[in-house]
Amino acid sequence: MKKVHIFNAGPCKLPQPAIEAGIEALKDFKGTGMSVIEISHRTKEWESIMDETVALWKELYNIPEGYHVLFLGGGASTQFCYVPFNLLSKKAAYLDTGVWAHKSMKEAKVIAEMFGGEVEVVASSESTTYNHIPKGWTIPTDADYFHITTNNTIYGTEIKEDIDSPVTLVADMSSDFMSRPVDVKKYGLIYGGAQKNVGPAGVTVVIVREDILGKVNHPLPTMIDYRTHIKGGSMFNTPPVFPIFIMHETMKWIKAQGGLEAIQKMNTEKANLLYNEIDNNPMFKGTVIDKADRSLMNVCFVMEDKYKEKEADFLAFSKECGMAGLKGHRSVGGFRASIYNACTMEDVQALVACMQEFAKKNA
Ligand SMILES: *Cc1c(COP(=O)(O)O)cnc(C)c1O
């Protein structure tokens, strides 16, 4: 098989052992003579996968009592409406740090309008194409919840610490899920699509503290009510079995790496190596203005102004070097290297070597 250094933003590189285990389970699931996608989800073989996956989330994130871990469909984008539906009575507060944050806010406004609430934008960096995380804001104490996007996948900024909030803190962690230890008790609700760090597209993970639910007065459709899925053990309806299976294997892989402290250390080393090259290579520069905000997951960079016309050349050259997925999002341009958990130091070293080689030929 052709060897490619995968820097895709999502879906993206996953641990090879998880993919191999998936191939086996597609052929014969736990010696049942049936594929994991042929067996009923109401069997003890499948239920043990569900239970183990929840247990691995609880163990790796050190999730305290009172929280539930749910595996749902619909992607993180569907959570943009689940959250206000379940939590918004009078007012929701949002931090506008990127396209995904903005979309989540837009959905909250729709729900607020339906039931007579409001959405307060606490701060926004939209006017500077989200090239930093806004600073110096305060969280309104009369809000039902405060929503943040911890990692801004498109712009390469990240809130790397668990913030203190006087109201229920809700976080979209889609693109930095399981990339570092998280102090879960600071959050009322955490959600994310699996396809950036914890599995394939198709399963959405929600970690929710039970006592924040059931406080709204408006009606909740059954499927949108988190309590339905708590009660049903994420099997009120048929769960996305294959994505959950791969997620189970990915969790096992994370644990085998030494857990989230070890993962965080590796992620920091990979990001440092790449940012260091961007800062020192004469042909490239980073796009995030405040270095403290730089994401450890999505590294965004562009050509230095005087080499602007070389952008397409570098992309072509990177392909020759065996790299995939380096083209930046259309709203930022340039390049984006997504270096999630499964991306190795060797992948990043190969990219750095490729940038150096390009500069040697062109600078
Ligand atoms: C990718 C992404 C989403 C959208 O996820 P879907 O599962 O495709 O709906 C939402 N938020 C963030 C931060 C993302 O990176």
CATH of the domain at 275: 3.90.1150.10
Q: Is the domain of 143 the same as that of 226?
A: yes
Tokens of 146: 């405060």
Give me the domain span that covers residue 23. 16-256
H or E segment to which residue 111 belongs: helix 99-115
**Any domain includes 1:** no
Domain boundary among 256, 277, 293: 256
Residue 235: which residues within 8 A CB-CB, separation 6 or more?
41, 42, 50
**Does residue 337 share a domain with residue 190?**
no
Q: How many structural domains are present in the chain?
A: 2
Work out the average pLDDT over 332-336. Answer: 94
Tens digits of per-residue pLDDT, 277-303? 999 999 999 999 999 999 999 999 999
Q: How far is CA 25 from CA 18, 22, 141, 169, 194, in A?
A: 10, 5, 49, 38, 19
Q: Among residues 228, 256, 284, which one ends one of the domains? A: 256
Q: What is the CATH number of the domain that holds 182?
A: 3.40.640.10
In a domain, 4, yes or no: no
Same domain, 164 and 313: no
Between helix 241-256 and helix 44-60 the angle, nearest 10°, is 40
User: Does 193 sit in the ligand 1 pocket, CB within 6 Å?
Assistant: yes
**Does one domain contain both 284 and 136?**
no
What is the pLDDT confidence band of residue 331, given thresholds at 50, 70 and 90? Answer: confident
Strand locations in the chain (E): 5-6, 67-72, 91-96, 118-124, 145-149, 151-152, 157-158, 168-172, 189-193, 204-209, 284-286, 298-303, 323-324, 335-338
Q: Do 124 and 224 share a structural domain?
A: yes
Strands 5-6 and 323-324: parallel
308 is catalytic: no
Is residue 278 in a domain?
Answer: yes
From atom 13 of ligand 1, which residue's Cα is the shortest distance away? 174
| Atom nearest to 201 CA in ligand 1 | 7
Claim to verify: residue 331 and residue 202 sit in the same structural domain? no
Ligand 1 centroid to Cα of residue 38, in Å, is 29
Residue 8 belongs to some domain of the structure: no
Mean pLDDT of 157-182: 98
Q: Which pLDDT band, with edges at 50, 70 and 90, does 87 fall under?
A: very high
Q: What whole-number distance in Å separates Cα of residue 123 and Cα of residue 134?
A: 6
Which is the catalytic residue, given 100, 176, 225, 270?
100
Residue 328 lies in a domain: yes
pLDDT confidence of residue 256? 98
Q: Is 100 a catalytic residue?
A: yes
Mind giving me the DSSP string for 118-186?
EEEEEEE-GGGTT-S---S----TT-SEEEEESEETTTTEE--S----SSEEEEE-TTTTTSS---GGG
Cα separation, 357 vs 182, whole angstroms: 38
C-beta of 191 in contact with ligand 1 (< 6 A): no
Q: Is 8 in the pocket of ligand 1 (CB under 6 A)?
A: no
Residue 27 confidence (pLDDT): 98
Both 305 and 350 in one domain: the answer is: yes
DSSP structure class, residue 204: E
pTM reported for the whole predicted model: 0.98
C-alpha–C-alpha distance, residues 332 and 19, integer Å: 32
| Residues 41, 184 share a domain | yes
The answer on 69 and 209 residing in a single domain is: yes
Q: Is the pLDDT of residue 2 over 90?
A: no
Q: Does 233 share its domain with 281?
A: no
Among 256, 283, 313, the domain boundary falls at 256
Instruction: Identify whether 192 is part of a domain.
Output: yes
Give the residue whose CA is nearest to atom 5 of ligand 1: 76
The verdict on the CB of residue 341 being under 6 Å from ligand 1 is no
Distances (CA, A) of 83 to 12, 136, 156: 26, 25, 24
Which class for 305: exposed (0-12), middle (13-18), buried (19 or more C-beta within 10 A)? Answer: exposed
In angstroms, what CA-CA distances link 340 with 65, 199, 315?
29, 11, 20
Question: Are 232 and 281 in the same domain?
Answer: no
Residue 71 lies in a domain: yes
**Residues 305, 252 share a domain:** no
Residue 2 falls inside a structural domain: no
- State percent of the chain over pLDDT 70: 100
DSSP code, position 65: T
The pLDDT value given to residue 355: 98
**pLDDT, mean over the chain:** 97
At 44, give phi and psi (nearest 5°): -65, -30
* Whether pLDDT at 1 is above 90: no
